[in-house]
Structure 1
Amino acid sequence: MASSLKLFSEESGVPKTLRIGSRLDKYRIVRRLGEGGFATVYAAHDTIEDRRVALKIPDSRYVSNPQSVDDLQREVRIMAMLNHPGILTLRDARFVEGHFVMVFPMGEETLLDRFSRRIARANAVDYALQMIDAVSYAHEHRVLHRDIKPENFILFPNQIVRLTDFGLARVQRTGKHVSASGTLGYMAPEQAMGHPDFRSDVFSLGLVLYRLFSGELPDYPFEAPLPGYQKLRRGLSSEFVALIRKAIDPSPKRRFRDAIAMQNAVRRIRFPLSDRSVTQTGRSETTSRISHRRVA
């Protein structure tokens, strides 16, 4: 597939200028959702299937670089192999009028957007369980995400959360080191040193959970007391608080070895909330449905 991507890239011609309202094949661009260092994400309308979609379109200069094409190839293959309700589905990936276009279902907002409004404790637990489940699934398939942050969790109706953006992801091989790429603020210290592993994803996920429940993002190196720690503890069981603290331990050896171990630990917490209003045996309808579909 790598060679075919390069072939299409070479034959794709001059990229079409993208404007709001313009068309790329059957997709009509509606608005720009966000822009990163390598790609822009647009909201679009699929005029054939009559549905909203999100288009991730890497910069044409990025696509013209052979190494970058290999990176795109890797991202596409990783997302194609992950089939889980908590991971955003890649619907299509191909060159269209000079642009490499990746097509995804259109969510409502990112978790970062959702942080701007109050989140009920029970809903936050629901989000947390789904996020841990999604990262655990990726780790089961040896996929190291390397860029877990609130912007990369997309919210859908009925409290559904899905992990996306596997642009930095790698299928982890024993003893193999990769670059120190990631997002400052959520990057584990060993990842910043160029030695990420599954514990690094656990650290990043732990910081997302810490911010979800406390409204604060601690700056590394952490100093006691952690900002927002009292708010973090408010309404959460001591076991759930301890789980988050273990996930963000600066020492990799003291963290969960991967999100699979983290999920196993959270399943042993029967009452995530101190008032026992949410139980692992009687989760919310959303989380129960996620778990059932995972087993199926």
Structure 2
Amino acid sequence: MQAIIQDSYQGIDALKLLPRALPALTPLGVRVETRYTPVMPYDVLTETGQLKQQRPVRLPIVVGYGFGGIVREVGQLRHTQLLNHAVIGVHPAGSHQEQLLSTFPPLLLPVPEGVSLAAATTLIGGGDAAYLALKKSRLHAGETVLITGASGSVGTYLIQLLRLADIHTIAVGHSSRRDLLRHLGAEQVVVYDQSLTAQLPSSTAVNQVIDLAGSPQLLDQLTELLGAVPILSLALPTYHARLPQQAFTFVSGAIMPKDYRWLLQQLAQGTLQAMIQERLPFTAVKLAQHRLQEQHAAGRILLTYNQEA
């Protein structure tokens, strides 16, 4: 099988597509034929060495974290009902490969009827992060939150989750994504490629800023307009607030398997909608990662594998 390999810190264009042997099936193992993997900023930051302290790795590594695929083989201690079933999961050893061996049962989740495997895969690094942000925010119904980077893979889910919680949303994004953000449930859209002052008058009341863009300059501008609003960031580990009384919190972590099952159920019921910006073959990983960095996001970019005709 082939895998996408990082063997240096020279960035996207140094990635390699190399053959890799399949590991032997273990009693707790599940062999998954990969169909989709999400393209994530986390990977690009690792490839350029920006996460060496937070994520020390020994190169070479297989790139990627999440996956969606079909179970083709199970170990002696795993249930045979998984065979030929669509699943999603996380694979810390690297997911951008044509097949993988999942060995930790809680990290593998069956996809329910009525949910496409592509849609389910967008929960990894997207819906899960949005769910974590909502829980950590401790916002209440009727309050107002402003989201930066709102049109990305996390923001498109977060807007929907906030709507379900009756929390008012101001979404910050590019003007080309205005219609998308309103469709998802944003009550106000602020476009960062136009003057923020005209769009956010001093009378605007915001209870919290959730930062998904990771731009200190944008947070500075928002603080000037909104005052000492608390900031919760999934994108910036540190930020020097402009006002001494302004609270800043960096959030990182995982959600529980039961939370993933709840998110999958919302997709099945249609109360959440997966936003897929583009699907590209895994052999075009460099193009996919460049587009992630250079284009205005509209949900998740997925790499495809083993696609049936």
- If the length of structure 1 is used for normalisation, what is the TM-score? 0.28
Q: What is the TM-score normalised by the length of structure 2?
A: 0.28
* Structure number having the greater helix percentage: 1
More strand by share: 2
- More relative contact order, 1 or 2 (CA 8 Å, 6+ apart): 2
